[in-house]
Amino acid sequence: MTTMLEPLRRIAAYAVCTDSVDRVLLVRASERSGTPGTWSLPGGAVDHGEDPQHTVVRETATETGLSVAVAGLHDVLADMRALPERGITIHTDRLLYRVSVRGGSLTDRVDRPTDLARWFTLDEARQLPLRSFTARALGLPAASADIVPDEPPEFPSFYAVPNPDGLHRAQRFAAYAVVTDPDGRVLLTRVSDGYPGAGCWHLPGGGTDYGEQPGAALIRELVEETGQTGRLVELLGVASHRDAASLGPEGYPIDWHGVRAFYRVVVDQPAPPTVGDVGGSTCEARWFARDELGALPTDRLTEVTAEAVQAARLT
């Protein structure tokens, strides 16, 4: 019964890398992995405080012997898989980056979670036992042998773990939206007192639930925080931010690392904003005209909001 397995979450980053003849770079899982014999994109877990772009460069070099440069964001997705032999079920938020090779040579590995790295045409890759996220990234049919949990377990989107030094540590994945309406107004939310960034204007959104895709989580959060129904238009980017001693409603310092995907969302039929989650991290929601948004001082915006608004070219 997968409901008896211990739930875990992690954030990981992967390389979508092609060569001059459009072959794709893949790595094979060894007997030391949870899915031996399967092939996937190179990559792995994002270390605490690490920028995911650094993760994908580091992991690709480790698994393949190649040095790569990040060219851009390809996709963001999530999946669950159960590993009964280990007594765990894992939700992974996967950040997929387009990369190009700077140098190095393919290297096989011994006694590691991946043991081979090879170039394949898409027709050749189609015949391989691919991990489901890899098949999706390559636009190929998924034929994964992964065991999917019977149902998502209860697991908080924000989970702080005590470290031996006494300081708690938390890594959290979230999805946020740059929301506009037909008149070009932008929807922002204000952070409640007692939360990091209190009083600042923030993007609608928040932490994703266990087993939840980021896009679905974002549309849910938009309704809960502002009362608006929106549609996803495009993925804008990913932001990574670490606060080594964040203070929130927990009342004690947390070494906090947030990884946030932000999207462009359109509300076709805007309504007066209403905050449904009363007493939570959002105390107000408001539509801003473009000139009003441009007039807001930078210290009135959260870091991810300023970055996302710039990426969306709204100011």
Arithmetic mean of pLDDT over the chain: 90
271 occurs within a structural domain: yes
Same structural domain, 181 and 120: no
Q: How many CB atoms lie within 10 A of CB 313?
A: 8
Average pLDDT over residues 196-208: 92
Same structural domain, 134 and 172: no
Same structural domain, 248 and 296: yes
Q: Are 57 and 65 contacting, i.e. CB atoms less than 8 angstroms apart?
A: no
Same structural domain, 119 and 179: no
Residue 85: predicted pLDDT: 81
Residue 12: predicted pLDDT: 98
153 occurs within a structural domain: no
pLDDT-based confidence at 6, cuts 50/70/90? confident
50 occurs within a structural domain: yes
Higher per-residue confidence, 85 vs 220 = 220
- pLDDT per residue as tens digits for the range 25-38: 999 999 888 788 89
Query: What's the chain's Rg over C-alpha atoms?
Result: 21
Across the chain, the runs of DSSP E, i.e. the strands, are 6-17, 24-29, 39-40, 43-45, 66-83, 88-104, 114-120, 161-162, 168-180, 186-191, 201-202, 205-207, 231-246, 254-266, 282-288
The answer to whether the pTM exceeds 0.85 is yes
242 occurs within a structural domain: yes
Same structural domain, 11 and 94: yes
87 occurs within a structural domain: yes
Same structural domain, 307 and 186: yes
pLDDT-based confidence at 144, cuts 50/70/90? low
280 occurs within a structural domain: yes
- pLDDT per residue as tens digits for the range 277-289: 777 889 999 999 9
Geometric angle at alpha carbon 143, from 19 and 2, rounded to 5°: 125
Residue 282: predicted pLDDT: 92
Range of the domain at 65: 6-138
SS3 132: helix
Q: Are 273 and 286 contacting, i.e. CB atoms less than 8 angstroms apart?
A: yes
- pLDDT per residue as tens digits for the range 161-175: 888 888 999 999 999
Same structural domain, 121 and 210: no
User: What total of structural domains would you count in the chain?
Assistant: 2
Residue 158: predicted pLDDT: 77
Same structural domain, 128 and 185: no
Residue 315, pLDDT above cutoff 60: no
Same structural domain, 179 and 297: yes
Same structural domain, 33 and 134: yes
150 occurs within a structural domain: no
292 occurs within a structural domain: yes
Q: In this structure, what CATH number is given to the domain that contains residue 112?
A: 3.90.79.10
Residue 135, pLDDT above cutoff 60: yes
